[in-house]
Amino acid sequence: VFEELKKLYAIALPLIVSALVMYGKSALSVLFLGQIGKEALAGGTLAMGIANITGYSIIAGLALGMEAITSQACGARRWPLMVQTLQRTITILTLASVPISFLWLYVKPILLLCGQDPKIVTVATVYLTY
């Protein structure tokens, strides 16, 4: 049992570290934005929510489909299928990133149309742009 736990830990440790880094980045951003002021905090968290829903979730969901196919191809030593899957996934993710990028670049009128405070929208727009 101990050997199995050791192997599981070796696999899980990189995932744990990457998740902590990913979520830590957002937490650190919120801490710094809170020090700047209420409008910066509101705009930054609005932008993070938009980025998570419209971007990261979509890209991660699309990439997740590639994971199973690539793992199976690698396990079966079907290298051409693995390469083909990776190439197609990169193409799909790149194509999906184009409309997401335009949304992030031109989100200001959409947020204003939804009735958001213009000062907060300005901060959110800067956050999403850079």
DSSP string, 83-99: HHHHHHHHHHHHHHHHH
Longest dimension (CA), the chain: 58
List Cβ neighbours of 116 (8 Å cut-off, separation of 6 or more): 46, 124
Q: Hey, what are 99's tokens?
A: 């409309």
**pLDDT tens sequence across 21-51:** 988 988 999 999 999 999 999 999 999 999 9
Q: Are 112 and 118 in contact (CB under 8 A)?
A: yes
pLDDT at 61 over 90: yes
Task: Determine the average pLDDT of the residues in 39-67.
Answer: 94
In which band, very low, low, confident or very high, does the pLDDT at 1 lie, cut at 50, 70 and 90? confident
Quote the pTM value: 0.79
* Distance between CA atoms of residues 101 and 79, nearest Å: 32
